[in-house]
Amino acid sequence: MRTTCDGRTQRFSGRGKWPVGAETRREHAGGTIRAFRPTDAAALTSILRDAPEAANWTQTSYREWMNSPGAVAYVSAGNGTVTGFIIGRQVADEAEVLNLAVAPLARRRGEGAALLQAALGEFRARGASRVFLEVRESNSVAIAFYEKNAFSKSGRRAGYYRDPDEAAVVMERKLK
């Protein structure tokens, strides 16, 4: 259960919006959404071993990423274990989701949606008006997930991905 700013209490399904300015630590059905810590980098690379559809970054890349201007990163955790993450960035009034992955055993529990909502809330609080992302053209599950979360297709980038070579579907969501 979570309490929204207007005092209502509701079960978190991953579809709700996080209140702007809410604390970094948020509860969801499977555990907690919290800010990424440099010590989480090993867990993120472990999750990526089981998520070939996600962008594969190194542990060092995640640690260095947090020093980048406009960086946004959250993890989902349950029972002391990191089970998912989202990485994004913001430049001026535009933001981008760069990577989102959830461990296979934690999928279909609302963690991906909770992570996405946490990042969108942060982008909104920072003044972003639009959020973009790219997804493999063949990843129909991810495309459906983002469409369910109010993203729409806005373009296509041929040859964007490697191993295998594949186009990216560009998706966008307006925040204001």
Annotated active-site residue in 62, 74, 146, 161 = 146
- Cα dihedral 164, 86, 16, 132, rounded to 10, equals -60
Q: What is the largest CA-CA distance in the chain?
A: 49
Annotated active-site residue in 27, 134, 160, 166 = 134
64 is annotated as an active-site residue: no
160 is annotated as an active-site residue: no
Q: Are 68 and 89 in contact (CB under 8 A)?
A: yes
Q: Is 145 exposed, middle or buried (0-12, 13-18, 19+ CB in 10 A)?
A: middle
Kindly list the catalytic residues: 134, 146
